[in-house]
Amino acid sequence: MSEYRALPSVDQLLTTLPDLIDRHGRQPVTDAARLRLDAARQAIREGAQGATEAARLPHLLAADLAAAAVTQLRPILNLTGTVLHTNLGRAILAEEAIAAASAAMAAPLALEFDLTTGGRGQRDDHLRGLLCDLTGAEDATILNNNAAAVLIALNTFGQGREAIVSRGELIEIGGAFRMPDIMSRAGTQLVEVGTTNRTHPRDYRDAISDRTGLILKVHTSNYRIEGFTAEVPAPDLAHISRDAGVVLMNDLGAGSLVDLSHWGLRREPTVAEAVAEGADLVTFSGDKLLGGPQAGFIVGRRDLIAQINRNPLKRALRLDKIRIAALEATLRLYRDPDRLAERLPVLRMLSRPKDEIAQQAARMAPLVRDLLAPHGFDAQATDCASQIGSGALPTDTIPSAGLRLTGAGGDAPDRLAARLRFLPRPIIGHIHAGALVLDLRCLASDDQLLTALADL
C-alpha cells in the first residue's frame, strides 16, 4: 500500500507541470496524467517501486504529449521513384493552385452565385469553359474523383440496362475499384464481350440489344496485354454505338491534357484525342497526370452531361470549393503549354532529365554519407528507374538516379527504412537489391533531404 502513496494525485501532478499545460492545454495534460498514473499503479502491482515510478512521470508525460501533438498527416519526402503515388497522395499542386485553395478557405467566394446578375450560379461554371477549351468537348461536369465520374455515368445511362465491356478491359484499380462491382452498384448489368486478349467489332455488334444502355471502353491503366491481341479502336466503336443509338463512354483514367511526348515521355492518349475519336463521354482524374487535386471529370455531349447533372447522385458526389479553386488555377496553367513544365510540379518531376538528377546524387552522396556514418550506414550515388504511377504508362520506367543506402546485416535496408519513416519529416524510399534506394527525381532541393536526415 505504501508504495502507492509515493504517487501524486492527478491534481498534485498538474501543479508541477505548468509548462506542459501552457503548451498543450489543461485537458490533454489531465488525460495523459490519468493514463500514466494508471500505468504506474499497474507497475507497482507488478513489483515496481513507488518513488521510481513517481520520478519518471514528468518526462514520460512530456514525451506522451509531444508524440500526440505531432500531426499524423504531415509532409513526407516521396523518394520512392513513383511520381504519382496513390498512397502518398498523388499529385502535389502548383503554387498557383495552392494560393487559390488558400484564398478559397479564407474568405467567402461566389461559388454558386452569379456576380453579373446577382442570381444563382453553378459551381461547375468555374471549370466548364476551361475544360471545354482544353478538350474540345461540348460540355463538362465535375465529380469527387474519377471513380465517382464512372459510377454516375453508368447509373445515368445504364441503370436497369446493360453496359457492354470488352473482357480485356474489366479492370481492378487497387482497393475496391473493380469495374464489375462499380457496375452492379450503379444498377447496370455487365455484358462481357470478346476474350481477355482479343475483342472484335462483331463482338460488340452481336451484344447490342434493346436493353443496351451504353458501351464502355476502359483504358487499361495499370497493366498491358501484349502478344496476340486485338481491341476495337475508339473511332470504330463510335460508329458501332452511333448506329445502335447507344452511348459510348471512354474511361481514360489518367487522361493527360497534353501530349507527353513533348517532354520526352511516351504518348498517353490525351483527353482531346478521345473526344475527337467520337466518344460521347470521356472520364478522367484530376490528380493523376493532370496534376491537380483529387477530382473526376466527365466531358462530352451537352445533352448527356445535362442528364448526368440531373442525377441526384451528382449532389452526393460533388466537389468542395477548395478543390474547385485549386482546379481552376491548375487548368489555367495549361493555357500556356510552354511554361507548363516549370509551373506544374507533376510535369516538372516527370520531365526532369536524368543527367541533372545524377549530378544531384553525386553532389549529395558524400553529405548523406557523413550524416549516416555515425548510425552505421553508407550512401553511394546510383542509377535507378522512376515510374509515373497511378496507372499511367504502367510498363514504362523513366531513367533516374538516386542514393543507394546500405549497412551491415541482411536486415539493414529494413532497419534504415523504418528509422527514416520515424523522422519528423519521414523519408520514404524503396528497397532494391539489398539496399534502401532513394530516387531523387521528386526531391525539390538538396536541403529538404539533408534537413530531414539531420534529425536522425
Ligand X SMILES: *Cc1c(COP(=O)(O)O)cnc(C)c1O
Q: Considering the complex, what minimum distance in angstroms separates the CB of residue 151 from ligand X?
A: 9
Give the CA distances from residue 443 to residues 115, 219, 245, 365, in Å, rounded to whole numbers and listed in that order: 42, 30, 50, 14
CA separation for the pair 208, 191 (Å, rounded): 9
Among candidate residues 274, 396, 296, the one with its CA nearest the CA of residue 90: 296
Quote the least distance from Cβ 367 to ligand X, whole Å: 37
Region class of 28: left (phi > 0), else alpha (psi between -120 and 50), else beta: alpha
Q: Rule CB under 6 A: is residue 218 a binding residue for ligand X?
A: yes
Map residues 362-391 to x or -, x wherever contact with ligand X holds by CB under 6 A: -----------------------------x
Of 345 and 391, CB closest to ligand X = 391
- DSSP one-letter code for 232: -
Min separation Cβ 246 and ligand X, Å:
20
Of 28-36, 91-99, 142-150, 433-441: span binding ligand X (CB under 6 A): 142-150
Separation of alpha carbons 218 and 441, rounded Å: 30
The per-residue DSSP string of 160-172 comes to TSEEEEEGGG--B
Site string for ligand X, 81-120 (x = CB under 6 A): ----------------------------------------
Residue 416 to residue 453: CA distance in whole angstroms:
11
Q: Are 373 and 408 in contact (CB under 8 A)?
A: no
Interface with ligand X, residue 285, by CB under 6 A: yes
- Closest to 301 (Cα-Cα) out of 377, 242, 252: 242
The one-letter code for the residue type at 206 is: D
Residue 295 CB, shortest distance to ligand X, in Å, is 7
> Which residue number, 288 or 348, has a Cβ lying nearer to ligand X?
288
What region, left, alpha or beta, does residue 326 occupy, with left being phi > 0 and alpha being psi -120 to 50 degrees?
alpha
- Site for ligand X (CB under 6 A): which residue of 291, 296, 402, 429? 296
With CB under 6 A as the contact rule, the residue among 17, 83, 147, 344 that binds ligand X is 147
Least CB distance to ligand X at residue 171 (A): 6
Segment contacting ligand X by CB under 6 A, of 120-128, 140-148, 233-241, 443-451: 140-148
Largest CA distance in the chain: 91
Closest contact distance (angstroms) between CB of 218 and ligand X is 5
Contacts of 290 (CB under 8 A, 6+ apart): 91, 255, 256, 257, 284, 330, 346
Window of 226-234, 246-254, 346-354, 419-427 that interacts with ligand X by CB under 6 A: 246-254
Taking alpha carbons only, the member of 6, 2, 1, 5 closest to residue 56 is 6
Residue of 20, 137, 254, 437 interacting with ligand X (CB under 6 A): 254
Q: Which of 50, 81, 213, 253 binds ligand X (CB under 6 A)?
A: 253
Decide whether 20 or 393 has the Cβ nearer to ligand X: 393
> Is-contact 141 324, C-beta < 8 A?
no
Shortest distance in whole angstroms from residue 173 CB to ligand X:
5
Q: What is the DSSP string of 39-61?
A: HHHHHHHTT--HHHHHHHHHHHH
Cβ distance to ligand X smaller for residue 50 or 391: 391
Closer residue to ligand X in complex, CB, 150/435: 150
Distance CA 21, CA 25 (A): 5
163 interacts with ligand X by CB under 6 A: no
Q: Pattern 166-195, binding to ligand X, x per CB under 6 A?
A: -------x---x------------------
- Here the cell at position 48 is 515496481
Binding site for ligand X (CB under 6 A): 145-147, 150, 173, 177, 218-219, 221, 251, 253-254, 285, 296, 391
